[in-house]
Amino acid sequence: MDSSTGAAPLMGAVDYAVFAGMLGVSAAIGVYYGFCAPAANVEEYLMGGRSMSTIPISMSLISSFISGITLLGMATEAYLYGAEYGYVAIGVLVSAIINAVAFLPVFYDLQITSTYEYLEMRFGKSVRILGSFFFIIGVICWIPLVIFMPAIALNQVTGVNLHIISPVVCIVCIFYTCVGGIRAVVWTDVVQTVMMFGAVLLVVIKGTIDVGGLSVVWSRNFESGRLDPPGLDLDPTVRQALPSLLLGGAIHWLFIAGVHQIMMQRYLALPTLTKANIAVCIFTVGAISLVLMSIYSGLLIFAKYFDCDPLTTKVARAKDQMLPLLVVDSLRGLPGLTGLFVAGIFSAALSSMSTALNSTAAVVFEDFFKTFFPKWRLSDRKADLLMKAVVVISGATCTALVFVVERLGSAVLQVSISLGSITNGPTLGLFTVGMFFPRVNSRGVLVGGLTSVVLMAWLSLGAQTYQARGDIRFATKPFSTDGCLYEFDRANNGSVAVTVDYHNSDVWTVYRLSHLWYTAMGWTITMVVSQLVSLVVRPGEDELRPGPHLFSPLVRRWLPKEPLDKGYKTVEMRVISQEEEDRRKLKDVD
């Protein structure tokens, strides 16, 4: 940043070349797997033939959910509110353990393509469609946020309009996802994960050296209260307390790492459960590492600008542009490094978007097309065209919604958790009651899931509306402009500092609940309502008790020992059907 004008420097030609190179490599991988090594059938396009290698899948898992929301949003979180969010790493670890012992074995034993196939085996087609619908809504809410984050980053360091950046990058992503299938997605994720780690490490090391070392970062943040531990407050309206970070964070990440189609589709692309569990471990270590490095990046931003807040002086035009501002300031004069950072941020976005689009194709084909058109037998060629059309249409829709996201007033990390919780909690609830509560029937779970998603939509959208209007504001850590060496409009500054939590007297208390509790609330509502309705409403005449393989290993020992029933026969019939299909193919070849 030019200390005399307060203007951010732009990227140079070498930086643009590095950024363009990342996009070019991603597109080239798509071209290879789309034209040189094309998928032979649907199973290959969506699951990689269930023979993928552990390390690439693990890196794909990391890049899928460590998006620009993590790299930029968590840095902003630490700058504005302190390092308290870093305690969510404990919740990430807990969720990984629960996933490995409770959920993953069930999905792996069934060898399904869409996780929502499980819901049909357990409850019937109507619940499967409900879960799939929740997934589509979740993707539509999440992907625009994922793309918006790096777009504002590049806007900060180049001045290029984000309305131009977003479509260009999305077109590249849609292209390689469309033509290459899951193998292209996974291998571009490998490249992009390396770019992500490289970008974050570059910022952390160079930025720490510039401010004078770890001791300076520590002392400046300690004096400002940014290193204060979260309180033990049980008040759910406290934005970040230890209970909400640990319990709320664990439940939120349990959905992400445990039952989400995007993650589970990659686990099931591995040949054995042992390799899938290894992938869970690698993903957990990588995710926690990037979370903690992102939090440290936010502390580093404050150490750099502790006496001249760029938000107050309007050098940074949005909250989530703070990390890009630090990057261009620290890496000025080092050709290519700013471009590497921008490429890393966009890599995080592209990997998340591509995996979401590939999983959307799986859900639409397996859950919607096959359910509503069971008599249509598509050839591999027509099925391939259908899935590619889904990728293009859903990708274009998400790209268009990026322009809606920029109107939201809160930090993007908070917006992401809040909007995602509309479907995250209810979806996790569907799978939890299915795997842990044998007496819950299909009618109960339908009412529970629908009730939960309606209530969570009302809560989340209402809270975001109040926050965007300024009727709800959360206390930030202090900022200063006493050390600014450039002129700015002190009368009309852009300060975001809030000394204490504020809310308009007309705002109902429920809208002030911490966003960290949202997923847990949706999960709880689904489970409670499902069980209550199941106690009152009898199951349908054709609904029988499901078989033991549809329950988590943690509860199977307590299940009543009964003959095989409808739920288990569904799985058995699926295996037999696959065997018959394989025999037919061999016969045709002969």
Q: Which tens digits make up the pLDDT trace of 412-425?
A: 666 667 777 888 89
Q: What DSSP state is assigned to residue 7? A: P
Stretch 425-454: mean pLDDT? 93
Place of tokens 């957990």: 284
In whole angstroms, give the CA distance from residue 211 to residue 7: 20
Note the pLDDT of residue 584: 41
In whole angstroms, give the CA distance from residue 208 to residue 202: 10
Q: How confident is the model at residue 497 (pLDDT cuts 50, 70, 90)?
A: low
Note the pLDDT of residue 136: 87
Query: Rounded to 5 degrees, what angle do the CA atoms 71, 74, 454 make?
Result: 105
Note the pLDDT of residue 247: 92
In whole angstroms, give the CA distance from residue 533 to residue 495: 50
Question: In terms of pLDDT, which residue wins out, 296 or 167?
Answer: 296
In whole angstroms, give the CA distance from residue 255 to residue 427: 8
Note the pLDDT of residue 564: 39
Question: In terms of pLDDT, which residue wins out, 450 or 495?
Answer: 450
Minimal CA–CA distance to 352: which of 155, 529, 583, 170? 170
As a whole number of angstroms, the longest Cα–Cα distance in the chain is: 84
In whole angstroms, give the CA distance from residue 344 to residue 26: 13
Note the pLDDT of residue 568: 37
Note the pLDDT of residue 575: 40
In whole angstroms, give the CA distance from residue 15 to residue 17: 5
In whole angstroms, give the CA distance from residue 143 to residue 356: 8
Question: In terms of pLDDT, which residue wins out, 558 or 502?
Answer: 558
Note the pLDDT of residue 353: 80
Q: How confident is the model at residue 12 (pLDDT cuts 50, 70, 90)?
A: confident
Predicted confidence (pLDDT) at residue 581 exceeds the cutoff of 50: no
Predicted confidence (pLDDT) at residue 408 exceeds the cutoff of 90: no
pLDDT averaged over every residue in the chain: 80
Place of tokens 């080092």: 334
Stretch 206-218: mean pLDDT? 92
Predicted confidence (pLDDT) at residue 380 exceeds the cutoff of 70: yes
Contacts of 232 (CB under 8 A, 6+ apart): 241, 242, 243
Predicted confidence (pLDDT) at residue 571 exceeds the cutoff of 60: no
Note the pLDDT of residue 52: 76
Give the pair of three-digit tokens for residue 536. Answer: 């009152």
Note the pLDDT of residue 297: 92
| pLDDT more than 90, % of the chain | 18
Q: How confident is the model at residue 98 (pLDDT cuts 50, 70, 90)?
A: very high
Place of tokens 């700015």: 488
Predicted confidence (pLDDT) at residue 436 exceeds the cutoff of 90: yes
Q: Which helix (H) or strand (E) holds 473?
A: strand 472-473
Q: Of the ranges 258-272, 313-327, 565-579, which one carries the lowest mean pLDDT score?
A: 565-579
Minimal CA–CA distance to 39: which of 182, 175, 172? 182
In whole angstroms, give the CA distance from residue 228 to residue 218: 12
Note the pLDDT of residue 41: 63
Q: How confident is the model at residue 157 (pLDDT cuts 50, 70, 90)?
A: low
Note the pLDDT of residue 585: 44
Cα-only R_g, the chain: 24
| pLDDT more than 70, % of the chain | 82
Note the pLDDT of residue 330: 82
In whole angstroms, give the CA distance from residue 522 to residue 536: 21
**What distance lies between CA 513 and its chain's CA centroid?**
22
Stretch 445-451: mean pLDDT? 94
Note the pLDDT of residue 217: 95
Strands 472-473 and 502-503, sheet pairing:
antiparallel
Q: List the domains of the chain with CATH numbers.
A: 13-409 (1.20.1730.10)
Q: Output the 3-class SS for 400-465.
A: HHHHHHCCCCCCHHHHHHHHHHHHHHHHHHHHHHHHHCCCCCHHHHHHHHHHHHHHHHHHHHHHHH
Predicted confidence (pLDDT) at residue 40 exceeds the cutoff of 70: no
SS3 content of the chain, % helix, strand, coil (to 5): 75, 0, 25
What size, in residues, is the chain? 590
Place of tokens 């999905």: 107
288-330, pLDDT tens digit by residue?
A: 988 898 899 999 999 999 988 888 888 877 777 788 888 878 8
Question: In terms of pLDDT, which residue wins out, 584 or 497?
Answer: 497
**18, 343 in Cβ contact below 8 A?**
yes
**510, 521 in Cβ contact below 8 A?**
no
What type of residue sits at position 301? I
Minimal CA–CA distance to 87: which of 295, 322, 303, 298? 295
Predicted confidence (pLDDT) at residue 496 exceeds the cutoff of 70: no
Q: Of the ranges 214-223, 292-301, 491-500, 579-588, which one carries the lowest mean pLDDT score?
A: 579-588
Q: Of the ranges 98-107, 192-201, 206-215, 509-518, which one carries the lowest mean pLDDT score?
A: 192-201
Predicted confidence (pLDDT) at residue 160 exceeds the cutoff of 80: no
Stretch 337-356: mean pLDDT? 77
Predicted confidence (pLDDT) at residue 586 exceeds the cutoff of 60: no
Q: Of the ranges 62-66, 129-133, 350-354, 538-542, which one carries the lowest mean pLDDT score?
A: 538-542
| 33-54 residues labelled b (16+ CB within 10 A) or e (exposed) | bbeeeebeebebbbbbbeebeb
Note the pLDDT of residue 10: 60
Minimal CA–CA distance to 142: which of 460, 572, 448? 460
Question: In terms of pLDDT, which residue wins out, 419 or 276?
Answer: 276
List Cα–Cα distances, 127 to 1, 91, 356, 393, in angstroms.
54, 29, 21, 25
Stretch 166-187: mean pLDDT? 79
List Cα–Cα distances, 581 to 74, 372, 383, 588, in angstroms.
49, 21, 17, 11
In whole angstroms, give the CA distance from residue 313 to residue 309: 7
Strand partners, 473: 502
Predicted confidence (pLDDT) at residue 565 exceeds the cutoff of 80: no
In whole angstroms, give the CA distance from residue 393 to residue 128: 22
**What distance lies between CA 81 and its chain's CA centroid?**
22
Note the pLDDT of residue 37: 66
Predicted confidence (pLDDT) at residue 579 exceeds the cutoff of 60: no
Predicted confidence (pLDDT) at residue 244 exceeds the cutoff of 60: yes
Strand partners, 503: 472
In whole angstroms, give the CA distance from residue 310 to residue 317: 9
Query: Rounded to 5 degrees, what angle do the CA atoms 456, 457, 460 make?
Result: 80
In whole angstroms, give the CA distance from residue 182 to residue 268: 12
Give φ, ψ of 482 to 5 degrees.
-65, -25
